[in-house]
Structure 1
Amino acid sequence: MNDDLIQSVPHEIFKAYDIRGIVDKTLTIAHVEKIGHAIGSEARTRQLTSIAVGRDGRLSGVSLSEALTKGILKSGINVVDVGMVATPMLYFAAHELCGYSGVMVTGSHNPPEYNGFKIVLGGETLAAETIQALRLRIENNDLKQGDGHYSRHDIKETYLKRIVDDVKLDRPMNIVVDCGNGVAGAFAPTLYRMLGCEVIELFCDVDGTFPNHHPDPSVPDNLRDVIHALATTDAEIGLAFDGDGDRLGIVTKAGNIIYPDRQLMLFAADVLSRNPGGQIIFDVKCTRNLAPWIKQHNGVPIMWKTGHSFIKAKLRETNALLAGEMSGHFFIKERWYGFDDGLYAGARLLELLSHAENIDAILHDLPDSINTPELQIKVEEGENHVLIAALQQNASFDDAQQIITIDGLRVEYEDGFGLARASNTTPVVVLRFEAENELALKRIQQDFRDNIQRIKPDMVLPF
């Protein structure tokens, strides 16, 4: 492969949490082979010997997986190909077969023309500098040579059995499962039937064109079919998954969405009932009701940066039992492995709800506040980080009780909070607001509006 190609692997596909691009444009077969060679070379530097490779249901998955595998093998690292699986199944295979090393070929919830890679080596999820280090390996041609061995392995039965052996429902449940034609559809209905559930399937046939709705349960519009199914059947609760099965969405019988920060309250109370004093990690976008809830249930709350790889790194550092993000990633270390697994999180949720006489009462009684969805300001590439840095240095919030800068700017007030942070995946500023009442919400938003417009007067704000 010539030097021009080595230099031409686009910088922009190397993201904060993963590698991701548009197939045949910023992510070509030749690029992917080089990326595989770099991953394998890094694995050899870390004295690893094998890497599990899996792919989701996207149309480009087979060809990209083959190119990635070819590159890894050229470095002298062995490849165990687990085929089409959900991302957590790849993590499970990596744990069981390859010294916790694996690469998932997935575009997650991105549009069909995208694809990419989530990478874990020796238990470390590559992110930020370690992702950029792969790019530098390619540019510097710092690539090891060898002849790795290729094999295939079907992980499905082992993975499903491991969950079924662990999770026990008190009674059979009737549930709706919406996979949005993502790869979770090949496994989720089987899993929940094995647990004793009656399953109403929505869009569980895997189709990389996503013909029905986008596989992203964090967007309320994508849950309309679940809400309708709950209203017109005997189902008790609805579960929805993203494109690669590592995120979970929940809808109640009454059609209410239980957002992930409130789902985390349920998981925290359950885990802490057996492990008092345990640490629970959550990201900066989560409700201010979460930390008091964790303390009330004899836990230690830890707020951290948004992003599955950052949360995993914090889990490794703290040995916390549980973590969760507003996006729907749940990382359960009690009885499980600590990687984000939407299918397992769904099973654990059903287990704890199966103990209850009235599911809706439990779900609706969780503390709640008035809040906005995730708001976004679209800006030029890199401008989001410049704006947040300026806010951190120059903003003035007179009524603030606490200003948290671990990831952007989260300002805590007596009656609510406001958040502005730079997305690590797209050129946007992410905003979120929560308050005890509408008046407080408007006041907090005005505080942020004044500070942002003081720095950038012409910025059009979505609130």
Structure 2
Amino acid sequence: MSALSKDIFKAYDIRGIVGQTLTDKTAYQIGRAIGSEARARNVKAIVVGRDGRLSGPELCEALAEGIVTAGIDVIDVGRVATPMVYFAAYELGTLSAVMVTGSHNPPDYNGFKMMLAGDTLSGPDIQALYQRILDKDFTEGDGQYRTHDIVDAYLDRITSDIKLERPLSIVVDCGNGVPGAFAPVLYRRLGCRVRQLFCDVDGTFPNHHPDPAKPENLQDVIDALAKTDAEIGLAFDGDGDRLGVVTKEGNIIWPDRQLMLYAADVLERNPGAKVIYDVKSTRLLGPWIRDNGGEPVMARTGHSFIKAKIKETGALLAGEMSGHVFFKERWYGFDDGMYTGARLLEVLSRVEDPNALLNALPNAVSTPELNLKMAREGENHALIEKLQQTARFDNAESIITIDGLRVEYADGFGLMRASNTTPVIVLRFEADNEAALERIQHDFRQILSQATSAPLPF
């Protein structure tokens, strides 16, 4: 048991380096812990699936063995995108699922995203799994294992509800992640003409990394849009729960601006509904939601936290700057990049010029996510906790501390928060103009340079 690394038990998933902090034995122990916790929650069966990483089959097999040893049935849906595992949990009535995925992390990473009895595990629940393994607090039983193909049911569910007013010509870049096996099929079934980029599933990610939050990973989409008659570009992360969007002119429509479009659409049918967005999102989003008849709710970053907030508030829509979007209206409330892409195409198909609609969304001068790298695991959390107590921003109008420090000014904001997946501090800045952006960044430079010797990324 001494080989079990506490560091892999993150805030909203389990994630480690394969063969080092995450082994088949670890996966088996985690399976036993999840199965034991499932029995405590009166769960009878758990759906499991895996993304396209090379380590997926072995880890998934070990995980399933642990779950059935604890006395819980396993329904293995094979190599699928993360949202397809969530969908299977609803479709098959388990409301419980474990996805073996490294998401957007490098190829040598893998991990687990978990849902039990309709609740996505996060924070204390994940730490409780770690403690259960340490205490060898396992149930024993004889669970049954079976496989199930969920693909057709997933595609049929989306295409039966979403209808495009006209066919669109699109670029789809899957970065060799597992969405490549499904996204082009989905959009062709919706009537689109699809130009595929890197849709062969390859866990070594030989072309570019499947992370649409990084501008450099969208360059191939930008190039393809410039050279073809495609109207819009969609890009996905490695496990298919996040979406990147690029216009014909090569403008990246970051997810917080995408959320404006989805909010206007949802609120048209559901006036007064709540719309959730995370602390990294633009400050233009709150006023936009109110102007469209909705109630804005800011929340901490993390798919587990957002889902919990949806349950707490009854919100019909939520989104994160990283690309996770959660539709509760007409869907199940989990994050699904491929479904989000379909909802986007539905809206865009109603207008003659989709790019004009996207480019007209309110915008500000802003940075993408910037990462301040720390030397050790946990150092980022300690530093943010210290700065929440000691940092002083003289010209700020307000400071929001639900997730790090979001410092609001009259003409912009700055954010620093501890990542829950890697030992970095995530920073983001937005302002009305370049001068205001520089002034806000200057304030943050002064605070951070006094608190850490790590090189600043801005």
User: Into which bin does the TM-score normalised by the smaller protein fall?
Assistant: over 0.9
Residue 359 of structure 1 corresponds to which residue in structure 2? 354
Residue 409 of structure 1 corresponds to which residue in structure 2? 405
d(CA) in 1 for partners of 2:97 and 2:41?
14
Deviations 1:235-290 (A, max 9, x none): 11010000000000001011111111100111011101111111000000001111
Residue 452 of structure 1 corresponds to which residue in structure 2? 448
Matched residue SS, 1:8? coil
Deviations 1:197-222 (A, max 9, x none): 11111111111111111111111111
| 2:221/2:233 contact within 8 Å kept | yes
Deviations 1:28-60 (A, max 9, x none): 111111110110000001011000010111111
Which one of the candidate residues 39, 44, 55 is aligned to 1:44? Answer: 39
Q: Could you tell me how far 1:96 is from its partner in structure 2?
A: 1.4
Residue 131 of structure 2 corresponds to which residue in structure 1? 136
Deviations 1:307-336 (A, max 9, x none): 111101101111100000010000000000
Tell me, yes or no, if structure 1 residue 425 matches structure 2 residue 421: yes
Q: Could you tell me how far 1:460 is from its partner in structure 2?
A: 3.2
Matched residue SS, 1:7? coil
Could you tell me the TM-score, scaled by structure 2's length? 0.98
d(CA) in 2 for partners of 1:95 and 1:122?
10
| 1:73/1:79 contact within 8 Å kept | yes
d(CA) in 2 for partners of 1:44 and 1:14?
21
Q: Report the residue type matching 2:265 in the other structure.
A: D
d(CA) in 2 for partners of 1:341 and 1:374?
21
Deviations 1:400-435 (A, max 9, x none): 111111001111111000111111111111111111
d(CA) in 1 for partners of 2:93 and 2:3?
31
Which one of the candidate residues 250, 271, 276 is aligned to 1:276? Answer: 271
Q: Could you tell me how far 1:454 is from its partner in structure 2?
A: 4.0
d(CA) in 2 for partners of 1:78 and 1:41?
12
Tell me, yes or no, if structure 1 residue 77 matches structure 2 residue 65: no
Q: Could you tell me how far 1:98 is from its partner in structure 2?
A: 4.0
Tell me, yes or no, if structure 1 residue 318 matches structure 2 residue 313: yes
Which one of the candidate residues 190, 196, 199 is aligned to 1:201? Answer: 196
Q: Could you tell me how far 1:8 is from its partner in structure 2?
A: 2.0
Which one of the candidate residues 366, 372, 379 is aligned to 1:383? Answer: 379
| 2:171/2:232 contact within 8 Å kept | yes
Matched residue SS, 1:448? helix
Residue 65 of structure 1 corresponds to which residue in structure 2? 60
d(CA) in 2 for partners of 1:7 and 1:98?
37
| 1:51/1:98 contact within 8 Å kept | no
d(CA) in 2 for partners of 1:459 and 1:164?
49
Where in structure 2 are the equivalents of 1:37-436 lying within 5 Å?
A: 37-379=32-374, 380-436=376-432
In the superposition, relative to structure 1, how do residues 103 and 459 fare at CA in structure 2: closer, same or farther (>3 Å)? closer
Gaps of 5+ in 2: none
Q: Report the residue type matching 2:393 in the other structure.
A: F
Q: Report the residue type matching 2:103 in the other structure.
A: S
Q: Report the residue type matching 2:397 in the other structure.
A: Q
Q: Report the residue type matching 2:68 in the other structure.
A: L
Q: Report the residue type matching 1:386 in the other structure.
A: A
Deviations 1:6-32 (A, max 9, x none): 332111111111111111111111111
Tell me, yes or no, if structure 1 residue 442 matches structure 2 residue 438: yes
Q: Could you tell me how far 1:462 is from its partner in structure 2?
A: 2.1
Q: Could you tell me how far 1:439 is from its partner in structure 2?
A: 1.1
Matched residue SS, 2:83? helix
Which one of the candidate residues 15, 21, 26 is aligned to 1:20? Answer: 15
d(CA) in 1 for partners of 2:164 and 2:457?
44
Deviations 1:115-135 (A, max 9, x none): 111000011111111111111
Q: Report the residue type matching 1:382 in the other structure.
A: G
| 1:417/1:433 contact within 8 Å kept | yes
d(CA) in 2 for partners of 1:249 and 1:452?
30
d(CA) in 1 for partners of 2:384 and 2:146?
47
Q: Report the residue type matching 2:305 in the other structure.
A: F
Root mean square deviation of aligned Cα? 1.0
Matched residue SS, 2:399? strand
Gaps of 5+ in 1: 1-5
Q: Report the residue type matching 1:257 in the other structure.
A: I
In the superposition, relative to structure 1, how do residues 459 and 222 fare at CA in structure 2: closer, same or farther (>3 Å)? closer
d(CA) in 1 for partners of 2:116 and 2:56?
21
Q: Report the residue type matching 1:428 in the other structure.
A: V
| 2:47/2:94 contact within 8 Å kept | no
Could you tell me the TM-score, scaled by structure 1's length? 0.97
Deviations 1:435-459 (A, max 9, x none): 1111111111122222233444x45
Tell me, yes or no, if structure 1 residue 35 matches structure 2 residue 30: yes
Q: How many residues align?
A: 457
| 2:171/2:196 contact within 8 Å kept | yes
| 1:239/1:249 contact within 8 Å kept | yes
Q: Report the residue type matching 1:33 in the other structure.
A: Y
Q: Report the residue type matching 1:424 in the other structure.
A: N
Deviations 1:154-183 (A, max 9, x none): 000001000001101000111111111110
Matched residue SS, 2:429? strand
